[in-house]
Structure 1
Amino acid sequence: MRRISVFKGFVLAVCLLALLTTGCQEGEISFNPQDGQNIDDGIKIGFSMGTLQEERWQRDRDIFVARAQELGAEVIVLNAYNDNDEQIKQTGYLIEQGIDLLVIIPHDSEKSTEMVHMAKKAGIKVISYDRLIRNANVDLYISFDNVGVGELMANELIKEVPTGNYVILKGAPTDYNSTMFNEGYMNVLDDYIKRGDIKVVAEIWAKDWAREDAFKCVEETLEKGIEINGIIAGNDGLASAAIEALSEKRLAGKVAVVGHDADLSACQRVVEGTQIMTVYKPIEKIAKAAADAAIKMAGGQELFVLDKINDGKYEVPYLMVRPIPVTIDNMENTIIRDSFHRMEDIYINIPKYLWPKE
């Protein structure tokens, strides 16, 4: 069950205040200043990133920084390289630099609570960006519908392979998003598993999203002589490793694989037929909204957020963006239309006469 409560009574107020745009539709989350409103000069934001390992995090960083700078703020970005102790040390450094607000992409959803406590002790508000910090009572959590991401992936795999043997490659156990993705998978798969239509023949957590863990799991399952019909991979990096293992047995394209993040290489695999889908998470929306929210919060303005999520101990404001499933059928109308990736890059390995007609 999702632990999200929605305060519908706030909807009218939010619309009137124009804090959420375009008729308060889900996913339209820009916090653009109202006409005549001045942004305080001299705002300094600390952006603590647990990793830049995946392609998408570099986009998040660049868009967030560009938007914050556009609004007159300074951003100090630090990367902890998947080291929680280092991220805690870096948080101390950011606080010493006199930041007005702290944005955290946590490496460890549990241990990162210490960073929130450090910031709050210094009177600094905290945004938990994309990954939820547990038991910390952050001032804002902004992310995608992560349970929904898992549901989209499992539904697409079920459509392609309604019966058979599944492998589930979950993400990092320290990343609470992995837990939410898995909740989404099981929301869809539970009934199929109980009926005996689907059998999960292998299931792992990939430490720090390590691709080698995913590769090893698929490789060892195949070497045991177990047939694999479908693979759910916790992100496109794990999907890539799974497909590499399948390729060594000449099974790439013969086993249905799903992932998410819409990495360029994943989009290429989708149109080439070795991965049946990815999930597009509009990073520009979330990164710009986070920057806008950070500016407002640092300036002492109140945000009206409709949703809340339980972080294990507290109900925290949750600004949610809807994810979009992407297959070969809607690649042009999603990824390419939004200029997330260019057609010529996605279809680089496909003869041009087979490209979609623009």
Structure 2
Amino acid sequence: MKFRKILAAGAGAALAFTLAACSGGGAGSTDDSTAGATGGTDGGTATEGGTIGVAMPTQTSERWIADGDAVKAGLEAAGYSVDLQFGNDDIPTQSQQIDSMITSGVDALIIAAIDGTALKAQLDQAHDAGIPVISYDRLIRDSEYVDFYVTFDNYKVGVQQATSLLVGLGVLDESGAETGEAGPFNVELFAGSLDDNNAHFFWSGAMDTLQPYIDNGTLVVPSGEMDINVTNTQQWKQETAQTRMDTLLTTYYVGTDLKVDGVLSPYDGISRGIITALQNQGYSGTVADGFPVVTGQDAEIASVKLIADDVQFATIFKDTRKLADQAVTATLAYLEGGEPEANDTTTYDNGVKVVPSYLLESDIVYADNIQSLLVDSGYWTAEEVEAGQAS
């Protein structure tokens, strides 16, 4: 595809920008009815470089607020105006927002899709208009016009989630070595939203890691629910996870001698729903006292607080500042007439093509490395961790 080349003032220095630390309102703290305000056209922001459309899925997760802010800051530092929109977890809303960006003549699109299968028409339009498309963290499927993908190694994220569950149960130590602990441990399994391509990678990585321990009897799933089509959590919603966990408890545990020892959770919001359901059924105290081991992802501040308090056991830290950096780098490469560097050209098949990708690394957060991973890096402050809220 031949893209429109933008001669941006100061664009040659774009790779040297510094992204602000990722923080924002807690999950659910922002009223989505006000979402969709554009950035980069007020407050004296530079507009010489043209306009980039940035479509994020929601403001109900602090993670996506932080991603949007970080991408916007990086592009503005490179001299571009930014049209940042949040899709309110609503597929038609996001589709309309992207339609509007294309109509208005944006020079590139960075899209974190609500539903990765729902944007083919928009990508067709972007291609016809010569607009490069960067798929951000969630792979856009079923279109040959996804030009580049920036994400984390999502299979490895799943491996890390399962590993943290095994560490919490004492089957592995923190180095990943087996301890000889044979259980059996009762666990339940949760997956993400089926319309998010990443959920399938998380699940594959986790199940490939857990299956040997299920097969040898170290782990037992009393519900028998081990298929992603049953364990999935639509739109990653906390309340949906809480309802399912309630059902699992009342169906398979209440009135029996069984106790939940651990729960595989793919996202911190889901984790908090699971924890609430457990607490409502009489599980109390900390992991050290026997509270079930619950995993997570995204290092949301409310869950980091729970980890510090030994209620949630672990989360996966995906430094979205680095992800935003790569999205900006890829976008500028196209607009300056080149192509971005990929470090994976085989993994991410969107159903039509293998999309060239840049994969970033993630880390497991336990209580004893919150300081080194999250506080020392400036992702959260010690005061935010103590309060469980972003400042």
- Indicate which of 219, 224, 248 corresponds to 1:221: 248
Between Structure 1 and Structure 2, which shows a larger proportion of strand residues?
A: 1
Matches within 5 A, 1:95-244: 95-137=102-144, 138-161=146-169, 162=171, 163-200=184-221, 201=223, 202=225, 204-226=231-253, 227-244=259-276
Q: Is the 8 A contact 1:143 1:321 kept in 2?
A: yes
Change in CA separation of 1:189 and 1:93 when aligned onto 2, cut-off 3 Å: same
Task: Return the alpha-carbon distance in structure 2 between the equivalents of residues 194 and 55 of structure 1.
Answer: 37
Task: Return the alpha-carbon distance in structure 2 between the equivalents of residues 331 and 258 of structure 1.
Answer: 15
The two structures have a TM-score, normalised by structure 1, of: 0.84
- Indicate which of 58, 61, 65 corresponds to 1:58: 65
Q: Which residue of 1 aligns with 2:75?
A: 68
Show CA shifts across 1:154-208 (max 9, x none).
0111122244222122111111111111011111011112223222324521111
Q: Is the 8 A contact 1:236 1:278 kept in 2?
A: yes
The two structures have a TM-score, normalised by structure 2, of: 0.77
1:324 and 2:346 aligned: no
Task: Return the alpha-carbon distance in structure 2 between the equivalents of residues 117 and 51 of structure 1.
Answer: 24
Task: Return the alpha-carbon distance in structure 1 between the equivalents of residues 364 and 121 of structure 2.
Answer: 35
Q: Which residue of 2 aligns with 1:45?
A: 52
Aligned AA for 2:210? L
Aligned AA for 1:215? Q
Aligned AA for 2:15? N
Q: Is the 8 A contact 2:140 2:350 kept in 1?
A: yes
- Indicate which of 334, 339, 343 corresponds to 1:306: 343
Task: Give the CA deviation at 1:31.
Answer: 7.4
Q: Is the 8 A contact 1:68 1:292 kept in 2?
A: no
Show CA shifts across 1:122-143 (max 9, x none).
2111000010111223111001
Aligned AA for 1:143? T
Task: Return the alpha-carbon distance in structure 2 between the equivalents of residues 242 and 332 of structure 1.
Answer: 25
Task: Return the alpha-carbon distance in structure 1 between the equivalents of residues 192 and 377 of structure 2.
Answer: 27
1:271 and 2:303 aligned: no
- Indicate which of 312, 322, 344 corresponds to 2:383: 344
Q: Is the 8 A contact 1:278 1:326 kept in 2?
A: yes
What SS class does the counterpart of residue 77 from structure 1 fall into? Answer: strand
Aligned AA for 1:101? A
Task: Return the alpha-carbon distance in structure 2 between the equivalents of residues 76 and 100 of structure 1.
Answer: 11
Task: Return the alpha-carbon distance in structure 1 between the equivalents of residues 320 and 368 of structure 2.
Answer: 21
Show CA shifts across 1:56-111 (max 9, x none).
11111111111100100011012221221222222111011111111111011112
Q: Is the 8 A contact 1:104 1:127 kept in 2?
A: yes
- Indicate which of 254, 279, 285 corresponds to 1:247: 279
Q: Which residue of 2 aligns with 1:32?
A: 15
Aligned AA for 1:197? T
Q: Is the 8 A contact 1:43 1:298 kept in 2?
A: no
Task: Return the alpha-carbon distance in structure 2 between the equivalents of residues 187 and 84 of structure 1.
Answer: 31
Moved more, 62-71 or 195-204: 195-204
Task: Return the alpha-carbon distance in structure 1 between the equivalents of residues 187 and 122 of structure 2.
Answer: 38
Q: Is the 8 A contact 1:306 1:319 kept in 2?
A: yes
Task: Give the CA deviation at 1:293.
Answer: 1.9
Q: Is the 8 A contact 1:50 1:107 kept in 2?
A: yes
Alignment RMSD (CA, Å): 2.0
* Stretches of structure 2 lacking an aligned partner (at least 5 in a row): 1-12, 18-45, 172-183, 254-258
Aligned AA for 2:294? V
* Stretches of structure 1 lacking an aligned partner (at least 5 in a row): 1-29, 350-358
Q: Is the 8 A contact 2:262 2:293 kept in 1?
A: yes
Change in CA separation of 1:233 and 1:45 when aligned onto 2, cut-off 3 Å: same
What SS class does the counterpart of residue 367 from structure 2 fall into? Answer: coil
What SS class does the counterpart of residue 155 from structure 2 fall into? Answer: helix
Q: Is the 8 A contact 1:269 1:275 kept in 2?
A: yes
Q: Is the 8 A contact 1:31 1:289 kept in 2?
A: no
Report how many residues are paired.
316
